[in-house]
Amino acid sequence: MQGRLKLGTRGSPLALAQSRKVAAAIETAQRWPDGYIEIVPIKTTGDMVQDRPLAEIGGKALWTKELDQALLNGDVDFCVHSMKDVESVRPREIHIAAVRPRGDVRDRLIGGDQISNLKQGAVIGTSSKRRQAQLLAMRPDFKIVPLRGNVETRLRKVEEGEIDATLLACAGLKRLGIDVGTSIPTEVILPAPAQAVIGIECRTDDNRTQSVLTTVNNQITYWCVMAERAFTRALGATCSSPVAAFAVLEDGDLRIRAQIFSEDGKDMVEQRGVFDCGDEQAPAAMAKEMLGKAPESIRRLFSPA
């Protein structure tokens, strides 16, 4: 490899923590000295605009477009993302070269010991349409209010009583070294597609960087994430689409459980599937089958191709 590699990332504490882990893993695999990979923080529109839900200002691309541009311009050699924040349709010039082993996929309740024990009419802060629908499906009495900002900001709003509770990803909290709240089983709250996965992208035509990144790829996680993303892509899901999906490898097969909701959580379609590793057509077919069974309250939230 000629010269130091440059890693592009958002500048949030979580994004930087994830990027340092990726850089360290690559340096170890390549027997490079600590700090050999240069971390380049890049401010994204999603970081700068914190007063509105993502769906109102452009969706998930707000986390990636500045990083994509830096990558395509050659300002950085690869970018690190939380994969659940990456659009399911990516530019063909950009390649998902690797993913790291999946972390804890569960959501964690901040502000109580379990959802059923929260007070009547509790104010729950979240800008996730998935979490909103899942919570309202269990507790229609909840009042859901938008909540943006980094992890520390969200925790502070619970501590100061601005909201009664929120849900945060267990994996993100662990990567920040924060141990608060109660983990919720996936049988109760199914995670977002690609939750708890750190992904690494580079230019499609950059074979040298790809060869380096593949040395830290976790193939099982890669298969699972690609199946979840194929499912989401077939739905035509956006930030406004309440969708949950989680794939695992069991006995050589990928087993996926998925849910799609209406915004108010009153309607839900759930399905399970078993696929071959690397098969993205079967999860896509499952998505279309679920939409075909869904009521209008759900179908209107998706835009399948």
> What is the domain-level CATH number for residue 119?
3.40.190.10
Same domain, 146 and 253: no
Q: Which residue has the higher pLDDT, 25 or 85?
A: 25
> What is the domain-level CATH number for residue 292?
3.30.160.40
CA-CA-CA-CA dihedral for 193, 199, 205, 211, to nearest 10: -130
pLDDT tens sequence across 2-47: 579 999 999 999 999 999 999 999 999 999 999 999 999 998 766 5
Residue 190 lies in a domain: no
Give the domain range for residue 258.
232-296
Residue 191 lies in a domain: no
Q: Is 60 exceeded by the pLDDT of residue 51?
A: no
Same domain, 94 and 208: yes
85 is catalytic: yes
> Mean pLDDT, the chain, as a whole number?
93
Q: Is 50 exceeded by the pLDDT of residue 254?
A: yes
Rounded to whole angstroms, the Cα distance separating 281 from 292 reads 17
pLDDT tens sequence across 166-178: 999 999 999 999 9
Count of the separate structural domains present in the chain: 3
Same domain, 78 and 212: yes
Query: Which residue out of 77, 85, 164, 267 is catalytically annotated?
Result: 85
Q: What's the pLDDT score for residue 239? A: 80
Q: Which residue has the higher pLDDT, 302 or 148?
A: 302
Same domain, 111 and 85: no
Same domain, 203 and 63: yes
Same domain, 97 and 10: yes
Same domain, 146 and 290: no
Same domain, 52 and 162: no
